[in-house]
């Protein structure tokens, strides 16, 4: 039992003393779970869940039936987990409410990661900005298979005109977990840059999200 552990090794006390960034995935899960089972303490149960699903990401996107089949969790924990995930998404989204200026590349990446990292399939989205780079809207436009989403420039242009945007940030996710841009990613970026230039709209960046990682094509010099 965790109460028998040295106090400075217990996840909750470790978080308070050293900060949340010092906890392992299993320790974070232990705090979320609150308790273990008859034979497993909360940290061991967290490790078992991570082992069964392969990663924290896979655990978070697991279907309810698969999640609830695991020893020590059920519908209540599934609901609590997804409430926590949604709180996180809404907290980060609140930083980019309409009318807020983008403060930095890292700020933008953090927001896009929160929106796309748990998507099991590829999703292409755009951040629409005014002339001062204040956020007008965030839109998910195209949804694909596990590794592909068809992107239609006409739809991007129509959405841009609808919101009277002056600039865009493109984004999509790689469910594979690899953030490196593909040749197809670079080609669609070039195509969209040219299409939007015809209506005097600037594409500031194309950010690829892969789990907790984000890759900026602008920072790489690929656009």
> 71-84 pLDDT, tens per residue?
999 999 999 999 99
pLDDT of 175 higher than 60:
yes
**Domain extent listing, the chain:** 2-90, 98-220
Between 211 and 4, the more confident residue is: 211
Which CATH number is associated with domain 98-220? Answer: 3.40.140.10
* Rounded (5°) CA angle 165-168-172: 135
pLDDT in tens, 100-116: 666 678 888 988 998 89
CATH tag, 2-90: 1.10.150
Chain centroid offset of residue 142 CA: 16
Give the pTM.
Answer: 0.66
Is the distance from CB of 35 to CB of 56 less than 8 angstroms? no
DSSP H or E run through 218: helix 217-220
- Residue 61 pLDDT exceeds 90: no
């Amino acid at each position: 039992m965790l109460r028998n552990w040295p106090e400075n090794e217990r996840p909750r006390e470790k978080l308070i003393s050293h900060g949340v960034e010092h906890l392992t995935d299993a320790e974070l899960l232990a705090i979320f779970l609150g308790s273990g089972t008859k034979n497993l303490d909360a940290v061991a149960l967290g490790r078992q869940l991570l082992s069964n699903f392969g990663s924290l990401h896979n655990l978070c996107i697991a279907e309810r039936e698969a999640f609830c089949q695991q020893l020590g969790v059920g519908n209540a924990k599934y609901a609590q987990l997804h409430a926590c995930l949604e709180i996180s998404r809404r907290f980060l989204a609140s930083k980019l409410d309409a009318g807020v200026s983008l403060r930095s590349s890292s700020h933008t990446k953090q927001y896009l990661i929160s929106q796309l990292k748990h998507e099991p399939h590829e999703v292409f989205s755009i951040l629409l900005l005014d002339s001062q780079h204040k956020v007008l809207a965030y839109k998910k436009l195209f949804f694909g298979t596990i590794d592909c989403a068809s992107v239609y420039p006409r739809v991007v242009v129509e959405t841009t005109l609808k919101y009277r945007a002056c600039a865009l940030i493109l984004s999509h996710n790689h469910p594979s977990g690899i953030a490196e841009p593909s040749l197809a990613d670079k080609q669609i970026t070039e195509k969209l840059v040219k299409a939007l230039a015809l209506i005097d709209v600037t594409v500031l960046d194309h950010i690829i999200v892969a789990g907790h990682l984000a890759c900026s094509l602008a920072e790489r010099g690929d656009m």
